[in-house]
Structures are given as C-alpha cells and as structure tokens.
Amino acid sequence: MKLGFLTACLPNVPLADIAAWAEARGYQALEVAVWPSTGSRDFEASHLNVADFGRKQADETTALFERHGLTLSSLAYYENNLHPDLARRAEIAAHVKRAVDAAALLGVETVGTFIGRHPGLSVKENIALADKELPPLVEYAGERGVKIIIENCVMEGWHPDGYPGNIAYSPELWEWMFSLGLYLNYDPSHLLWLGIDPVTALRPYLDKIPHAQAKDAQLDPRARDRYGFFGKTLEREHPWDEGWWRYRVPGRGDVDWRGVVDALYEGGFTGVLSVEHEDPVWSGTEEKVKQGLDIAYQTLRPLINA
C-alpha cells in the first residue's frame, strides 16, 4: 500500500510543483485531477489537459513522476454522468473517454468519476438510466485496459433538497454498479455520516476496490438534534452546508483509521490510499492546504508499512 493525495486541493499549483512538494513531504503517489479548465466550480482542477494529450505529454508526465519517485495512482474527473441536460451529459461522457485515453497512454489503471443522478427521477429510475448510459463507458475503458472507479460520495449538494446526488452511496448500490463492470474508489468519510460503519462496509468488497481515498468527517450530534439527518433546510449558506457534520483531514474527524487501514491490509489491498483534502479548517490558502496534507500524512503514515 502507498500513501498519496488528490491534487484537486491545490488547483492553482502546477503539477510539477505539487510533485516536488509531495516527494519532499514523504508522499508516494498522486491522484491527478483532470477536470476541463472551465473554471465553473471552485474545486475544479486541471493538472493534466487530457483534451489535448498525446505520446509527448505522456512521456513528459511519466518522466516527472519518475524524477520524484512517485506513482500516478489514478486520473480524477468526478462529474454527474446522469446529468439531466442531455448536452451536458454528452460532454461529461466525452471527457471521461478523454481521461481514459490519457490513462491508457500513461499506463494508469483507473479513472475516477461519479455515477451521479438525474434529480427529477427516483433512484430506481436513475438506475435504469445508468444501465443505459454507463456500460458504453465501461466497455470503452476496458478495451484500453482501464477500470472506471466510482467514489461513494453522496453529493447531496447536487439535489435541491440535499438528498443523494450520486447513486453509489451504500453497499446495496455498490453491488448493483459492480454488475455493470464498475469498481469502487472507497472513501470512508461519506459512510460515517450516513450511519454505515466504514470498516464493516469495506470488508466484503475489497476485490472491487483498486483505489481508495482518505477523507475524514467530524460529526456534531447536538446540531443533528436541530436539523435532522438530512441537514439544514432553511438556513444553508451553500449547497454543502449540512450543519451537523463536515469533512476533515484524516486525524481531525471520527473515522477509525487504524481499523480502515487494517481491513485494507487484511483484504490484500496493494493500491494507493489517496488523501482527499476538503477540510474547511485547513483551507483558504496554499500554505494552509499543505499544512492539512501534512496532518493527514502524520496520521496515516505510521499505519502503513514501509
């Protein structure tokens, strides 16, 4: 197992600089963000331009990672593959394919994305829609030796009432998506606030988890007594303002990291555990984000065998 992080937390820092910093801090891998550089969302990062990516760019990227002794663990483009706007849905699918093409050139095993959701449809109706939309992407990736991995993020901010906006949030739904040939990019933080034990949920599915993310969550049961499980209704400052929980870097929340890492080892996981930094306390400046990544490293590195 190797310890890495997702580059999306440093959207304005060039990949070469991130790689140099990661090596200096002891990280072993990077999960590289490959959103299009549209600037439409705050957390978008485009550290590789997969829309214009050929052998030259692949060789340069490979040389960069070799120079710093790093593994490129996955390409990250987490978007709504069931977007209600058909034109936007087609754009997203096309970019997933471009990420797959880049991964194949780089020899990277996985591309990460979301299933997503059409918010005007029920979960069952969305499953029927996904049964039509996603198999062509799985086939396209498989022909190029790449797996598509789905993060189990709830993406409640994509739904007007804070309900799940990504229908991959529970083991019940993982089993359905596995039947389509998709894999899981396991993230324990989302399970925690849903009331699902992250370690218990992890154990049966390790053969379907080629890549994992490390993000923590901090719960506030007293605030839940005011807002309920689904979070704030009338007082949200932004779509992700649930009010009774928030994401943290590993070590600053309530996830049992010793249990998670032990279960990964017990199940034979040999991939990358990639820190996904979305901690509001350690955000706002490049320096604070890097301090948050240092905290995550200090928490997780002692649990991972050298």
pLDDT tens-digit profile of 230-240?
A: 899 888 888 88
Contact by Cβ (8 Å): 157, 206: no
**Phi then psi dihedrals of residue 147, to 5 deg:** -100, 140
Tokens matching residue 59 = 């060789």
Pick from 62-66, 77-81, 231-235, 250-254: least confident? 231-235
Looking at residue 274, what is its pLDDT? 98
Q: Could you give the percent of the chain with pLDDT greater than 90?
A: 91
In this prediction, residues 220-228 reach a mean pLDDT of: 94
Answer whether residue 305 shows pLDDT above 90. Answer: no
User: Domain extents for the chain?
Assistant: 2-303
- Looking at residue 225, the DSSP 8-state letter turns out to be H
Answer whether residue 91 shows pLDDT above 90. Answer: yes
Looking at residue 255, what is its pLDDT? 98
Name 94's Cβ contacts closer than 8 Å, sequence gap at least 6.
none
The SS3 assignment for 113 reads strand
Contact by Cβ (8 Å): 244, 227: yes
Fold of the domain built from segment(s) 2-303: TIM Barrel (3.20.20)
Answer whether residue 42 shows pLDDT above 70. Answer: no
In this prediction, residues 221-229 reach a mean pLDDT of: 94
Question: Mean pLDDT over all residues of the chain?
Answer: 95
Looking at residue 237, what is its pLDDT? 87
In this prediction, residues 207-220 reach a mean pLDDT of: 98
Cα(210)–Cα(201) distance, rounded to whole angstroms? 16
**Phi then psi dihedrals of residue 124, to 5 deg:** -60, -40
Kindly report the number of other CB atoms within 10 A of residue 240's CB atom.
16
In this prediction, residues 280-297 reach a mean pLDDT of: 97
Cα(58)–Cα(81) distance, rounded to whole angstroms? 26
Interval 142-186: pLDDT, tens: 999 999 999 999 999 898 888 899 999 999 999 999 999 999 999
Interval 104-150: pLDDT, tens: 999 999 999 999 999 999 999 999 999 999 999 999 999 999 999 99
Looking at residue 38, what is its pLDDT? 65
Crossing angle of helices 55-67 and 15-25, rounded to 10°: 20
List for the chain the helix, strand, coil content (%; round to 5). Answer: 45, 15, 40
- Looking at residue 174, the DSSP 8-state letter turns out to be H
First to last CA, the chain: 9
The SS3 assignment for 59 reads helix
Looking at residue 204, what is its pLDDT? 97
Q: 155 or 38: whose pLDDT is higher?
A: 155
| Residue whose C-alpha is closest to residue 150's, from 242, 65, 76 | 76
| Residue whose C-alpha is closest to residue 196's, from 258, 152, 247 | 152
Cα dihedral 216, 295, 277, 107 in deg (nearest 10): -110
Answer whether residue 306 shows pLDDT above 70. Answer: no
Answer whether residue 276 shows pLDDT above 80. Answer: yes
Cα(236)–Cα(243) distance, rounded to whole angstroms? 8
In this prediction, residues 266-271 reach a mean pLDDT of: 96
